[in-house]
Chain A
Amino acid sequence: GNSVTQMEGPVTLSEEAFLTINCTYTATGYPSLFWYVQYPGEGLQLLLKATKADDKGSNKGFEATYRKETTSFHLEKGSVQVSDSAVYFCALSPYGGATNKLIFGTGTLLAVQP
């Protein structure tokens, strides 16, 4: 079946440190991949996405590359800020149409200290 695995966390970093949050997936065909961010007390917001192999999604300094050979979609940022503190969710949309449900990972809490 389809599934998403992401690192447990929490991830605690100092401001301006480099961030990597690992995400791997299991899926048939060619899923679309997403990263969502949830700030404290809020709903989830789409951070970035990639719809085919080797695509790179990017937004607000965050990047993730769709790697089909390693079935991964790791989230990276070169220099984190305190305002990046949030929970990050990796998700996939199975190939085959808009009626399919998104499959979410369990979320990774990022805490950035000044």
Chain B
Amino acid sequence: SQTIHQWPATLVQPVGSPLSLECTVEGTSNPNLYWYRQAAGRGLQLLFYSVGIGQISSEVPQNLSASRPQDRQFILSSKKLLLSDSGFYLCALRTRKANYGYTFGSGTRLTVV
């Protein structure tokens, strides 16, 4: 079965420091991959999605970026973190086998101090 791994689970970073969050997938190939942020409240904000290697679509302008160097790897990065980047970051995948639903990773809690 398909699984999705995210790490680290929690992260505390100072303002202005770089960021790299990694998401890897097992049990499927050529998935669509997504990065979401959940800030303070409960809503989910789609940040980036990718339909293939090197293909990134950005949903909102911000100081974050994403890359997909391999089929099963999706990376969220920042060169300089802002306080407003704090939140719960979720990676998700979507394949046809899931009848178009998502499988989510366990998330990374990022606190920028």
Contact = CB atoms under 8 A, between A and B. Distances in A.
A98 B96 contact: yes
A3 B77 CA distance: 29
A101 B34 contact: yes
Interface residues on B, range: 20 to 34
Contacts, number: 60
A98 B98 CA distance: 9
Interface stretch (A16-24, A61-69, A71-79, A102-110): A102-110
Interface of A: 32, 34, 36, 38, 41-46, 49, 51, 87, 89, 93, 97-102, 104, 106-107, 109
Contact of B42 (A34, A51, A106): A106
A46 B102 contact: yes
B101 A43 contact: no
B74 interface: no
A106 B44 CA distance: 7
* Residue from the set A51, A102, A106, A107 with the largest chain B CB neighbour count within 10 Å: A102
A93 B42 contact: no
A16 to B, nearest CB: 25
